Amino acid sequence: MKLKENIILKLKDILQDIKNEYNIIGDIDIDLGTIVEKSKASSSDFSITCFALAKVLKKSPIDIANKIAESLEKEKIEDIDKIIEATEKKSINDIFKEKGQIYFRDLEREIILQESSRNNCVIATGGGSILDNENVKSLQETSFIVFLDASIECLYLRLKDNTTRPILNDAEDKKQLIEELLEKRKFLYQISANFIIHIDENTSIYETVDKIKESYINS
């Protein structure tokens, strides 16, 4: 019982962080106790519980994974887009509008080169970073690259209400544009990766992490 209560308290903290980050006003109707029960809460199932919460919030599981890493003092996650925003003191949208995509890609290349030289961290790159061969070269020389091969439906559910992606913001049919971008980029993702894992809207973070760790250890 104490374990369940502790997990619920952690989930409440994570939920509050997410509400703040995404400017969600008011209460969200989520029964955390039920989510924990359905996850058969144990210390090893905490990430599954958080994945259930991510599905309810319709946010990317990586947001929850990041909060878990912070709360459990795990290895740091370096989000390239967030580092760029912190460096420029502007949102990605504003950088695109004011300085253009070429400026953004040049800065992205510098940041990836910088972050790829670090040890003991997880780097989350933007989807378009693969288009620059220098980025691929920097990461292949220093890192174990994982391609999360998400289904179109999974990508669409994550991105349909997202307004932080400049390339998608003005699309009349966001799902169609996602399909077109993935069709153009998927081969590059595949040939650049050390490990490819398929994920969809029902994929468990816990199982995904286990598979990635196993592949990394055996590489």
Which of the two residues, 205 and 14, has the higher pLDDT score?
A: 205
User: Are residues 52 and 81 both part of a single domain?
Assistant: no
Residue 41 pLDDT greater than 70, yes or no: no
State residue 201 phi and psi, 5-degree precision: -65, -10
18-34 pLDDT, tens digit each: 556 555 555 555 555 55
Distance CA 101, CA 109 (A): 12
Distance CA 219, CA 212 (A): 10
User: Are residues 62 and 88 both part of a single domain?
Assistant: no
165-182 pLDDT, tens digit each: 888 988 889 999 999 999
Residue 97 belongs to domain spanning: 76-217
Domain termination site, one of 15, 46, 71: 71
User: Are residues 131 and 47 both part of a single domain?
Assistant: no
Question: For 72-89, b where at least 16 C-beta lie within 10 A, e where not — what string?
Answer: eeeeebbbbbebbbeebe
User: Are residues 154 and 188 both part of a single domain?
Assistant: yes
Question: Distances from the Cα of 142 to the Cαs of 70, 117, 151, 164, 202, in angstroms?
Answer: 24, 7, 28, 29, 31
User: Are residues 112 and 193 both part of a single domain?
Assistant: yes
Distance CA 12, CA 160 (A): 25
pTM value is 0.65
User: Are residues 63 and 118 both part of a single domain?
Assistant: no
Structural domain total, the chain: 2
Confidence band of 57 (pLDDT split at 50, 70, 90): very low
What CATH number should be reported for the domain holding residue 100?
Answer: 3.40.50.300
Task: Select, from the ranges 3-12, 90-99, 138-147, 159-168, the one with the highest average predicted confidence (pLDDT).
Answer: 90-99
